[in-house]
Structure 1
Amino acid sequence: MKPRIQITIVIALLFLFPLACADIPPPAVPETQGFSSATTMTVLGTATESDSMTWQISNLVLDALLSPAGSVLVSTDGGAVLVPELPVFDDILTDTPGEVQYSIAYSENTVADQGLIGYVKSSALDTANQVVGTRNLETSKVLEFVGFDTGRAVSSEDMVVDGAGSIGITDDLFICPFAAASTGITPEFCNIVEMGGDVDMTLMSLATTASERNVAASADVPVAADYSITVTGFGDIPASGSASAFIGAHLQEGTTTTLGTFNFEPFGDVDAYLIGKGEDVQYSETTTVSGEITAFSKVLSYQSGIRRIS
């Protein structure tokens, strides 16, 4: 008799950073786009589904080297940053924000062969600014499969959120006055998170969701990504095969130390900061089950922002 495995795992990775450490979402471009699709299949035989999406966005110039805020003076040594307090610098140095770039990727590949197949999926992508509680990308799917003699269903899903940003002026980024008052600049960051799941089954009921948010009108809204996977059988009959889910993250965050305010004639007062790399986090996790699976569930969440939400 095959062993029965009953596993239920719920994991939430919520990364909480102080003001010196956070993703800064770029605002939407002037013209935004929306895509949506809905798929329903009931098949006795073979069914396939292949989805792929990549999306890059910048608040300045896409694929260019990251530029610090135009009204920030960066020295050539020692990592010092000088922020003028007088409007005259906006005219001299051009008032451009610190650059932020994001790359988002999502893919799904499903092949169900020689069996009774039920498949339902919905996907939506909206490149407009999002608020707390909404997402730029949302997908959900349900795959039910009962294989015949040599029938099997293989499905994999993967989502990546990759962001990097240069030095920014806090007053230009936040609506919340308390966030803007706590420091004059936001430091550099470079964060990438990948999550997803795989199944190889002869009998199963599979449900997955994937979503992410990386575009907002202000930095008050945190960047977020979520993935969930659930595998069960039918009634008292367990699922049969193997299933796994994973997350990998590499988070690099800068810090700022206030050095003071100095008078630089004839331009007036200048705020001085010392910048540098202040944090490096690497995290990976994979969960795998195989055999006769009564229940398998995994929930993965990522959130990064100067203003976090529960």
Structure 2
Amino acid sequence: MQISNIALDGAPLQVDALNFGPYVGVVHIPILDPLFGDGNVLGEVQYAVAYSESTVADQGLVSYTKNTGLDTSNQVVDNRNLQTSKIVEFVGFDTGRAVSSESLVVDGAGEFGLAESQFICPFAADQIDLTPEYCNIVEMGSDVDMTLMSLVTDSSERHIAASSDVPVAADYDIKVTGFGDIPAMGSASAFIDTHLQEGRTAYVMTIPIHVLDEDYSVDLYSVGKGEDVVYSEMSTASGEITLFQKAMSYQSGVRRV
């Protein structure tokens, strides 16, 4: 699933402002409103979300239940755009085997924008004039290869909201057990990979402009990268597994919940 607030695949990202080098100018000149949006600074945002799941169970007793929901409307804090849940129970015969893999990717990039036009909360805009540029990607998922197991996974993500008050979020949970006193047998792993690049903005000055007996202005800001974080982690277990359980969460936004 891919989505943009301006033009999908219209690289590079668009923004209604003067962009030159390490500075950006927010223009307040009515005659140039069609070009620069009356100083509203609408920065383009693009997101891509990918989900995949594959389960193969052979030569054994298997129970498989899967629920998937996708909602492309604006979501509030407690809701998600994509949500999945899966329950797999397997008891293999002599050569029986169940293999299951799952992956969720949330990839987003955005230009800077005027904070007061993006937030419902008035105090959020008081803390920052421009929301910075960003380019973030996160992937999380699991792999299991078992001869006996009870497997439960849940994944969800949110990247569409009416305002920037609602942060982007992604979650993935996995639980592997046996049956009663009999442990699960085989191998299980769960992972998360992220690369987060966040920008930083700072007010520099306001440049006055006098045209045809009218006073206008351009607000000048410095922009650039302020953070670059790469994080990867994997948990694994093999053999007789009494319990393998992991929960992973990701949240990105000026306001957090």
Query: CA contact under 8 A between 1:66 and 1:166: conserved in structure 2?
Result: no
Query: CA contact under 8 A between 1:145 and 1:203: conserved in structure 2?
Result: yes
Candidates 34, 45, 55, aligned match of 1:91: 34
Which position in structure 1 is the counterpart of 2:254?
Answer: 306
Check if 1:293 corresponds to 2:205: no
Quick one: distance in 2 between partners of 1:94 and 1:254? 22
Quick one: distance in 1 between partners of 2:157 and 2:241? 29
Change (3 A) 1:109 1:293: same
Q: TM-score, normalised by structure 2?
A: 0.94
Which position in structure 2 is the counterpart of 1:226?
Answer: 171
Check if 1:192 corresponds to 2:137: yes
1:195 corresponds to which letter in structure 2?
Answer: M
SS in structure 1 opposite 2:12? coil
For residue 88 of structure 1, report the CA deviation from its aligned partner. Answer: 4.4
Which position in structure 1 is the counterpart of 2:25?
Answer: 82
Candidates 269, 274, 298, aligned match of 2:217: 269
> Which ranges in structure 2 are unaligned for 5 or more consecutive residues?
none
> Which ranges in structure 1 are unaligned for 5 or more consecutive residues?
1-54
Quick one: distance in 2 between partners of 1:87 and 1:248? 46
Higher strand proportion: 2
Query: CA contact under 8 A between 1:68 and 1:167: conserved in structure 2?
Result: no
1:80 corresponds to which letter in structure 2?
Answer: Y
Runs of 4+ in 1 over 6 A off after TM superposition: none
Quick one: distance in 1 between partners of 2:18 and 2:233? 41
Quick one: distance in 2 between partners of 1:282 and 1:225? 17
What are the within-5 Å matches in structure 2 for residues 1-310 of structure 1?
A: 55-70=1-16, 72-75=17-20, 77=21, 79-94=22-37, 97-266=42-211, 267-309=215-257
Query: CA contact under 8 A between 2:27 and 2:36: conserved in structure 1?
Result: no
Q: Which has the higher contact order (CA 8 A, sep 6+)?
A: 1
For residue 86 of structure 1, report the CA deviation from its aligned partner. Answer: 5.0
Quick one: distance in 1 between partners of 2:35 and 2:105? 39
- Amino-acid identity (%): 62
